[in-house]
Amino acid sequence: TGPNGVRVNQVLVAELVDIASEKYFAVVLDRARQGPVFVASPRGGMDIEEVARTSPEDIYTLPIDVHDGPCRSDVVDLAKRLGFVGEHAEQAADEMEKIYRLFVALDCTQVEINPFGQTPDGHAVVCDAELNFDDNARFRQKNVFDLED
């Protein structure tokens, strides 16, 4: 943004959510694996590169078959590794699967949720997101690319 700023046309107002713990979740396009990968950590709300450098055991990856999508039992297991328990692990897995569908539908190269929050009663909440889009999909995602500054 330049010194004159950018005109604001819309403001998003969201409900305040109490977060008991912060996790990290992302769907990224892994060029080495030639497909999407879930990347997750129970240590969210911080720089994930720092977590990977100092505590690589706290980073979990789950490669996704591009034709079949994520395996439900693997996604629930990932939610449990993040600290979600019981029905809340199922609900967290639902959120992860929705994020994956968004990743595919919008031709993303990355959808990063940080923090992927857990409320005091155990529910999963997407608190903040960063999306990156495949420039080669500009013709398919005209509405998305029209939002650029």
Catalytic residues: 24, 112
- Which single residue is written with the structure tokens 């692990």? 89
Residues facing residue 117 across a β-bridge: 22, 125
Q: Can you give the three-state secondary structure of 34-66, one letter per residue?
A: CEEEEEEECCCCCCHHHHHHHCHHHCEEEECEC
Q: How many CB atoms lie within 10 A of CB 149?
A: 5
Show the tokens assigned to 51.
């977590």
Selection from 93, 102, 147 nearest residue 129 by Cα: 102
- Which single residue is written with the structure tokens 């940080």? 114
Give the phi and the psi of residue 93 in degrees, each rounded to 5.
-60, -40
Residue 93, helix vs strand vs coil: helix
